[in-house]
Chains A and B, each alone.
Chain A
């Protein structure tokens, strides 16, 4: 589903990612972690082509994202659900409109848009605030609107950047349960977070970007062998700096 092959990225000559390679298989649920500034958001931006890779290849569902012409990018993004770290809600639109407008691009008729938007807003427990504007919502509520918008088009790939950053623990767990449900239905999920507890509790594979600003490859190598993963919701700590597996 996702393949990074020796990807490097620099901003104004400052190297953020260096020779990064990893794979996420179709139907997987994977965490991406690492300290602040490690490049988690950058990895996600490369995925939905908000940034172009400096070097290397990025494949998303067989599409060569790095070589994609600008005209193809909207199509790519429409197959994805993206939760942005800063939500990116339309300030002048209601909660309901914020969630339903992405369905417009897919040509979904109005009645169906209504139904589906209401459904996902129920999932994130915001169905009672459908007519509120984003500015009338708390940070956590806004985050849940962003979540609902990412889920409403039943994406092939869900990419979430700190989707629980503003949620209390119960809601964060709730969101992870939601992601698991969506994942069971076939959506590949990639979640960037530095909430180690959450990763631990959810018990999924975890990719770690190195500390120190400049990424030294990943991390795949630093992961325990596949057999050691516990799929029963048990605990697995992300590898720490200098930790041997």
Chain B
């Protein structure tokens, strides 16, 4: 109970300290929220790009387009080779008719055009669903080359390079976000340190008096440290609010535009865990700034 009361009075002192230096306090909160907002944008981009990659990976299949005159025996050989490779989960035969049906379902408006072509322009194919982990397996490339060499196979379609590159981009975005974040958070910590130092200067006389009458160090420095932490906390919360607003704005923009593809890229907000990490980042920056400014000998 007494501990709670002591903390309440520390908090009270911290708030009144921030209030007395409210203009700089607002500036430092805005700065930290801007930093965290930028980090959040990076993370948001990484999260959604990552989502796209995941979706693509789920749908990752190798398509083997078959030569139109290929005999049944060599098609069966291809299927057997695939199943025995330990890279493939399932094998599906898609006839030319089915291929045309799929096309019609996906692109209704173009069916007319396809219908006017003489004969069926869609080749029959064999689709392979890869096992998880197959994409990164070193055996995948020789395996695909082997299949491509089969007399029944006209062409092997597999976009693994593209996916790999995309995943690299996602990683880069996330890393750039984190690096920028650490950098900006340090800058914010520096600002917070300055604000705390300023409030300390404003209270210089009071601090001297408190010392002279024997106030414990926690009561003297605690409020300033706590003031820094509070700034970081508020900065983090404001940043989250801004991010949520920006995200809603983007969603609105995407849903009102004709461009369907954009919809694939903007779907998810940050997970609660990442939101927590952002706010925690603010708190840590505040703690760092507050500690630096209020360390012994500076108060």
Contact = CB atoms under 8 A, between A and B. Distances in A.
Please indicate which of the listed interface residues B206, B209, B217, B296 has the most CB atoms of chain A within 10 Å of its own CB.
B209
B77 interface: no
Interface in A63-119: 70-71, 73-78, 80, 82, 84, 88-92, 102, 104-105, 107, 109-110
Contacts, number: 45
Interface of B is mostly: helix
A107 B2 contact: yes
A29 interface: no
B214 A75 contact: yes
Given A104-B9, A107-B2, A74 B209 contact: no
A74 B211 contact: yes
Contacts of A110: 5
A151 to B, nearest CB: 12
A9 to B, nearest CB: 18
A33 B189 CA distance: 52
A105 B212 contact: no
Nearest to B206: A90
B206 A105 contact: no
B129 to A, nearest CB: 69
Contacts of A102: 213-215
B212 A48 contact: yes
B216 A74 contact: yes
A77 B205 contact: no
B33 to A, nearest CB: 30
Interface string B190-216: 000000000000000110110111111
A77 B213 contact: yes
Contact of B212 (A75, A77, A91, A109): A77
A148 to B, nearest CB: 12
Contacts of B211: 74
Contact of B213 (A71, A91, A92, A149): A149
Contact of A50 (B5, B212, B217): B212
A105 B219 contact: yes
A82 B206 contact: no
A71 B296 CA distance: 11
B217 A74 contact: yes
Nearest to A48: B212
B219 to A, nearest CB: 7
Nearest to B215: A105
Please indicate which of the listed interface residues B209, B213, B217 has the most CB atoms of chain A within 10 Å of its own CB.
B213
B213 A82 contact: yes
Contacts of B213: 77-78, 82, 88, 102, 105, 149
A88 B209 contact: yes
Contacts of A90: 206, 209
Nearest to B9: A104
Interface residues of B, number: 16
A6 to B, nearest CB: 26
Contacts of A107: 2
What interface size band does chain A fall in?
20 to 34
A42 to B, nearest CB: 15
A243 B30 CA distance: 71
B209 A105 contact: no
Nearest to A70: B296
Contacts of A109: 2
Nearest to B203: A92
B205 A91 contact: yes
A90 to B, nearest CB: 5
Contacts of A48: 212
A70 B297 CA distance: 11
Interface string B214-256: 1111010000000000000000000000000000000000000
A168 to B, nearest CB: 26
A162 B2 CA distance: 37
B209 A77 contact: no
A88 B5 CA distance: 26
Contact of A74 (B206, B208, B214, B296): B214
Nearest to B20: A92
Nearest to A80: B214
Interface string B247-288: 000000000000000000000000000000000000000000
A73 B220 CA distance: 14
15 contacts: A48-B212, A50-B212, A70-B296, A74-B211, A77-B213, A80-B214, A88-B208, A88-B212, A88-B213, A90-B209, A102-B213, A102-B214, A104-B9, A109-B2, A110-B5
Given A88-B208, A89-B209, A105-B216, 13 more contacts: A50-B212, A71-B217, A74-B214, A74-B215, A74-B216, A88-B212, A88-B213, A92-B206, A104-B9, A105-B214, A107-B2, A109-B2, A149-B213
In order of increasing CB-CB distance, the 10 nearest A-B pairs are A77-B214, A78-B214, A74-B214, A88-B209, A102-B213, A105-B215, A90-B206, A74-B216, A90-B209, A105-B216
